[in-house]
Every structure is written in structure tokens, then in C-alpha cells.
Structure 1
Amino acid sequence: MAIPRVHHHHLGHLDYQQAWDLQKRLHQEVVDRKLARRNQPSLAQYHHLLFVEHPPVFTLGKSGSVDHLLLSAEELREQGFTFLKINRGGDITYHGPGQLVAYPIFDLDEFFNDVHRYVRSLEEVVIRTLTDFGLQGERDAGFTGVWLAGHPARRQPRRKICAIGVHLSRWTTMHGLALNVRPNLTHFNHIVPCGIADADRSVTSMSVELGRPLELDEVLPRMEHHFAEVFDFTPTKTHRPGIL
């Protein structure tokens, strides 16, 4: 099988709805190309990897509960939050400034047809990225995403540092992961993050764990590298901020 070619897109600071619309358009283009290749096997497939930072927004996955949003519609407006119900899996999560969000639009026919492996691979990208900064990320058998281990002796709970939620149609992916680099963690107090209300679990960021400010521009190149490494693809080009 040929090595997949993936276009990287650096979208900068972008409204969630705009990014979602772009995902849907690229997803349809990838699916259309997949179908066209049945009659034109020589036609190359193109995959996309979007990197973006959103204004403050809460998104609710199709299996989530609206009760996990702890603000009223009026409070959302007053505090400048947007709330959207979307088509990814999972429950409610928060996106905002200081969070590095990655949306792979991959035709998994060119990688592997295994949803479980796909999600584990996204986790592996984040775990390797964290390792580059001296942080030890790990999986939790009961929950999707990437965590940092708790320390009972320090009364420190298990901390979630990256949320993952995906959607697949015709083996083509949408949505992805959100790594907390330096977001305002108090915004997570307005939801039950990912529907997890356990007292021994919390949310953290790379900046908090490292004890110093960390910029997205420091983290993004390492995440790009590990995406190519884990999914074994060739990055073809990078688009700078703007809607394609």
C-alpha cells in the first residue's frame, strides 16, 4: 500500500462553526474522491489534518447529556460562550484559547479499517507529544483521551489533559482531539467534562503541569511530527491561516 499523502492546514484562531463547516466540506471531498477511485484506480486520494484554536465554545456529542452543561442559555450569552450540538461521539467538552485542536480528515481505507485502533493512535500522538515536554501521558481503560496519573500521597487526582471525540462515515474521519496547552481551566467548571463527574478526576493543562507558560506554536510542530510518525504518512504542504 502506498504511503498516504496528508495536507496540513494551520487555521489559527477560528470560530467553531466555521471549522466544522470546513471539516464537512473536506470530508465530502474525500468521500467523493474515494468513490471516484472505484472507476479511476490511478486517482490519488488526499487526506487533511487541520490545526486550530477556537473561541470559547461548549460542544455536545451525539451520545451526551445536555444536563452536563451547567449554564443557562442566558448565562452562556452573558459570559461569551457558544454552545453547539454536534455529530461526534462522546459527551460535552470545552474548546477555547490556549487549546490545540487537531481534526484529521482521513480516508481510513488508506490507513487501517479499525475504529478502536484509530482512537488509540490519536491517544498515542498526544502521549508522544507530551513526552517531548517531559510529561508522562497515559491511557485510562475506562475513558477515552489522555490522562496524567494521580498521586494519592499529594492528594492529587488523575488529571485529563486531552479529550478525544470522533465521527466516521464511509471510513472517513471527522473531529479529533483537543490538547490543553494553556486554556483557562476555570471554564471547565461550567460543564461536567466528557460526562465524567468522578471526584478523583480533574482537568489540567501542559502549562499547569510544567509550571510555566507554554505557547501553542511550541507544541504544534511536535504534534505534527508525531501524527506523521504514528499514522505513517507523508505531509505534503502546509496552508496558513484562512478558510481554504
Structure 2
Amino acid sequence: MKTIFTDWGLTPYAEAWEHQTVLFDTLVGAKLNNEVYENHILFCEHPHVYTLGRSGKDNNMLLGEEQLRAIDATLFHIDRGGDITYHGPGQLVCYPIINLEEYNLGLKEYIHLLEEAVIRVCASYGIIAGRLEKATGVWLDKDSSNVRKICAIGVRSSHFVTMHGLAFNINTDLRYFSYIHPCGFIDKGVTSLQKELGHKVDMVEVKLLLQKEISALLHLD
């Protein structure tokens, strides 16, 4: 089956969620009916928004509705795994809507693959990133007291079809993370490529690198 990469640019979260859901339901339906389908890997950025997963705790959101409006942000309760995270301009979000069985992947292997793609992109900028035991995502200085997350991952899967995905901090305004306990952690930091490198990073370049690494790991043509 064909795998299509699409860049949505800056897209409101509700609109992206709705569009994702349509693509997800279409793929699941086609798979169950043995019909031809397309896999989609979507890139975008969102206006300021917080999303709380199924297993998330409301008290990890530190602001009320009025305070959220004051910082021009919104909050969504959504159907992925994981706790609370932030999306905003300067953060590269990737939503793969793919049939894992086509790639001989289980859910754990798939999450590992997403992490690996981001780890490789970080390496291309000279940044050593890795995994943290019992904490999904991509981390820097994982064995130190200065451990910090550069990419969050939260996935939903049904019939081995995925939606949601990863949020990779490129030129993200990191102040917005101070209003939450990111992914439920209160003792770990958050960072971005821009913060680590000391300069703004070309988002188009990062998208091309991430597409290249995901394609290589999925063995796409």
C-alpha cells in the first residue's frame, strides 16, 4: 500500500484531530473490509494548545480556563495514551496514520521506531539523545540530574492502525511548559533544538530530515 507524507503547516488542533480521525476511520474500515487503502504521515504545527490523554490527571494542568485564555491557549481531553503535553508554534508534530501490520510492527516496536527517528535527527545536529526507562519520548542527558525531554510521544492504536504521534520541540516557546507537569513529570526538564544549539533552526530542514529517517526505518521507497 502507498504511504503519503503531507505537510499541513500551522493547523488548529481541533481541525487536525478531526481530519486525523477521518483518515484513521477510513484506513481501519478499508483494512477490515480488505479494501485498498493509503497510509498517511502528517506534519504540522499547532497554535498554543494543551492535550490531556486518557490516563492523564487533571491536576497536571496548572491553569484554569481564564488563565488559559490569558496566554491564548486551549485544553483538549483526547483519546491517546499518556498524560498532558503542550503543542505550539515552533514545535514539529508528526501524526502517522498507518497500518502497523503492513510494516510487521507491534505497538511497542512502533513507538521505539518513532523515538529512533527523532534520536537520529538530533544526532544530525550533533546532539546526543536517547530513551529513558519507563518514560516514553526522547531525552537528553538521561543519566544526569539535568535530564530533559526534547520530544513527547503519545499514540492511539486500533486494529493495529495508529493515530496521534510525536511532538518534537524545534523552536518552541518553552515557557508554555511551565504551566503544566509535562507528561505527568515534576522532576524533569523540557528543551528544544533551538535551546540546545543556541540559535533558531530551519523547520523545513528538520521536516525533511525526519521524513528521511521515518522512511528509512519503515523501509519506504
TM bucket normalised to smaller: over 0.9
Q: Any unmatched runs of 5+ in structure 2?
A: none
Equivalent residue, structure 2, for 1:188: 177
SS of equivalent residue, structure 1 residue 207: helix
Structure 1: which 4+ aligned runs deviate by more than 6 Å? none
Q: 2: distance between equivalents of 1:172 and 1:151?
A: 34
Q: 2: distance between equivalents of 1:57 and 1:46?
A: 29
1:214 aligns with 2:201: yes
Superposed CA offset, 1:111-146 (max 9, x none): 124111011011011011111111111001120000
Equivalent residue, structure 2, for 1:17: 14
SS of equivalent residue, structure 1 residue 100: strand
C-alpha spacing 1:151/1:46, structure 2 compared with 1 (3 Å)? closer
SS of equivalent residue, structure 1 residue 175: strand
Q: How does 1:102-181 map to 2 (within 5 A)?
A: 102-149=94-141, 157-181=146-170
Q: 2: distance between equivalents of 1:150 and 1:16?
A: 30
Structure of greater Rg = 1
Q: 2: distance between equivalents of 1:173 and 1:190?
A: 29
Q: 2: distance between equivalents of 1:123 and 1:94?
A: 18
Q: 2: distance between equivalents of 1:169 and 1:65?
A: 23
SS of equivalent residue, structure 1 residue 167: strand
Kept in 2, the 8 Å contact 1:98–1:215? The answer is: no
Question: TM-score, with normalisation over the residues of structure 2?
Answer: 0.96
Q: Any unmatched runs of 5+ in structure 1?
A: 38-42, 235-244
Tell me: higher relative CO, structure 1 or 2? Use CA pairs within 8 A at least 6 residues apart: 1
Pairwise CA RMSD: 1.3
Question: TM-score, with normalisation over the residues of structure 1?
Answer: 0.88
Kept in 1, the 8 Å contact 2:131–2:142? The answer is: no
More off after superposition, 45-54 vs 106-115: 106-115
Q: 2: distance between equivalents of 1:181 and 1:158?
A: 17
Kept in 1, the 8 Å contact 2:88–2:172? The answer is: yes
Q: 2: distance between equivalents of 1:196 and 1:6?
A: 35
SS of equivalent residue, structure 2 residue 162: strand
Identity of aligned residues (%): 42
1:231 aligns with 2:215: no
Q: 1: distance between equivalents of 2:15 and 2:24?
A: 14
